[in-house]
Amino acid sequence: MTLPEYPEDKTCRVRIVNDKAVNRDGEYILHWMTTARRCRFNHALDRSVAWAKFLNKPLLICEALGLGHRWASARFHSFISAGMLDNHSFSSVAGVEYYPYVEREPGAGKGLIKALSRNACVVVTDDWPCFITPKIVEAAGRQSEVHMEAVDGAGLLPVSKVPKVFSRAFHFRNWHQKNLHEHLEHFSSADPLKGLSGGIAVDSEILSTWNPVSIDELSEPAKWISELPIDQEVAEVRIHPGGSVEASRRLASFVENILDRYGEDRNHPDRVATSTLSPYLHFGHISSQEIYQEATEADAGENGDAFIDQLITWRELGLNYCHYHEEVDSWSSLPEWARKTMEEHAGDLRPVTYSLEQLEAAETHDEIWNAAQRQLKGEGLIHNYLRMLWGKKILEWSPHPKDALEVMVHLNNRWALDGRDPNSYSGITWCLGRYDRAWGPERPIFGKIRYMSSENTARKLRIKPYLQQWGEENLFSR
């Protein structure tokens, strides 16, 4: 009987990244944690564990945090380092070796994966269809000295199993309602590290070249983060601390206290009726599977369905687009009808225009917009309804719609805790017509793009409490 060469994959999520051989004499399975930064409900970690059991080797988890990516800031570093502390606790309870590394100077982390792969049997990492991850995975595949796999744990559906790009939400909803069930049979494990053995001594030369960040440093990150050459103006958001423990706490509280009124209340910023889980999903501190499981078990009727629809239809529509298109933030990625109508109106007189600096500083004539921008800068999030208005107004006030796209990408990705995500691009481009249809009457500047106004928003929503919190007169009392 010949033994199988690889552990079986029933999930359809595993992608082989290079053509290098498995080193059966290696010392460990290297799990390189990059986007699914959690030790629970994690398909990539399940795969590493499957390899560890298959080859009867211990597991080494390396979670690294680089400096060199666009929009790196104290805000994102604080959030991620809180997650590293949780991952350290989970792995030490399980007795699994955890290697947290933070780059202190640009380029200092280069070579770490190559060095660690030298003593590995196999390298397993996360697949994620957006931002810098696809390029990093391909480069790591070349550098790794052994067989490397990338595992897609981004959503409930493996992105490669969605057969085409869906341009409207209802078409995608119809499709996944028929196809999701088969992927729900292969949920990731709630406690993948249970029963694994540790006992790895990482090469001392590697440890001295790429010094792991200590537990004391992870417990008190403010000082060392403040010394890093990253955007320090974008500061930590204390009310949204990172980590998988906080993510699970939020999920439990949301399901217990909010889910059964989600559908009715979610569009009202004053009612605190959404989960605020988007940053945790973005940094992989929680899995959409865990959220799905908790929300369906709560049996919250139409409200539960409304929430799950956001989680699957809208969230995975963004993943779907990124999987098929690299240029997610380019003008040419917008639907043809939308580009045409905006270009036809590009020369329309704009009663007011604002520069990026004015917008970033929340210095417009529109108090609702300014409040939303201040919330983005202060808390790293804007309520979804106001986020739509925020984007539409940037279109209205930009000299050209192409400028609007650039400004939205910059402001959102620099300040939003959930920025640089597939949903960032789907939300921003929705404001410019993606996933939407042409609307009448045709208007100046917008053409056939759906229009939104602050006046209407003020009529529809109870906006006063929001303005009390984020209006200018309160700036100095916060």
Ligand X SMILES: Cc1cc2nc3c(=O)[nH]c(=O)nc-3n(C[C@H](O)[C@H](O)[C@H](O)COP(=O)(O)OP(=O)(O)OC[C@H]3O[C@@H](n4cnc5c(N)ncnc54)[C@H](O)[C@@H]3O)c2cc1C
94/234 with CB nearer ligand X: 234
Q: Other CB atoms closer than 10 Å to residue 1's CB: what's the count?
A: 2
CB of residue 170 to ligand X, shortest distance in Å: 14
Under the binding rule (CB under 6 A), the answer on residue 432 touching ligand X is no
CB of 317 to ligand X, least distance (A): 7
Residue 436: CB minimum distance to ligand X, A = 11
Query: CA dist 37 to 8, 287, 355, 450, Å?
Result: 24, 10, 37, 37
Centre a 10 Å sphere on the Cβ of residue 417 and count the other Cβ atoms it contains: 23
| Member of 153, 419, 433, 447 binding ligand X (CB under 6 A) | 419
- Which one of 428, 432, 445, 461 is in contact with ligand X (CB under 6 A)? 428
- CA torsion angle for 61, 65, 69, 71 (degrees, to 10)? 130
Q: Is 418 in the site for ligand X (CB under 6 A)?
A: yes
Write down the least CB distance from residue 99 to ligand X, Å.
29
Query: 399 φ, ψ to 5°?
Result: -60, -35
Contact at 8 Å (CB) between 330 and 448? no
Residue nearest to ligand X (CB): 427
Q: What is the dihedral of CA 374, 375, 381, 382, to 10 degrees?
A: -100
Give the distance, in angstroms, between the CA of residue 142 and the centroid of all CA atoms in the same chain: 25
Find the shortest distance in angstroms from Cβ 278 to ligand X: 3
Shortest reach from residue 461's CB to ligand X, in Å: 15
CA-closest candidate to residue 31, choices 5, 2, 60: 60
Binding string to ligand X for residues 246 to 275, with x set by CB under 6 A, is what?
--------------------x-------xx
Q: Which is nearer to ligand X, 119 or 274 (CB)?
A: 274
Residues 311-330 touching ligand X, rule: CB under 6 A, are 311, 314-315, 318
Residue 290 within binding range of ligand X, rule CB under 6 A: no
- H/E stretch holding 123 reads strand 120-127
Based on the shown chain and the rule CB under 6 A, indicate whether residue 48 belongs to the binding site for ligand X.
no
| Best CA proximity match to 156, nearest among 369, 349, 311 | 311
Of 34 and 274, nearer to ligand X (C-beta) is 274
The single-letter code of the amino acid at 127 is D
- The least CB distance from residue 341 to ligand X, in Å, is 19
- The answer to the question of residue 295 lying near ligand X (CB under 6 A) is no
How many residues of this chain bind ligand X (CB under 6 A)? 29
Enter the tokens of residue 241: 């601390």
- For residue 151, the surrounding DSSP H or E stretch is strand 148-152
* Residue whose CB is less far from ligand X, 38 or 282: 282
Minimum CB distance to ligand X, residue 282 (Å): 6
Binding status of residue 129 toward ligand X by CB under 6 A: no
Per the CB < 8 A criterion, the answer to whether 129 and 287 are in contact is: no
The reply on whether position 80 binds ligand X by CB under 6 A is no
Which of positions 375-404 make contact with ligand X (CB under 6 A)? 384, 387-388, 391
Residue with tokens 């939003």: 416
Alpha-carbon span 441 to 444, nearest angstrom = 10
User: 48, 398, 412, 454: which one contacts ligand X (CB under 6 A)?
Assistant: 412
* Chain residues in the site for ligand X (CB under 6 A): 266, 274-278, 281-282, 310-311, 314-315, 318, 384, 387-388, 391, 412, 416, 418-419, 421, 423-424, 426-428, 430-431
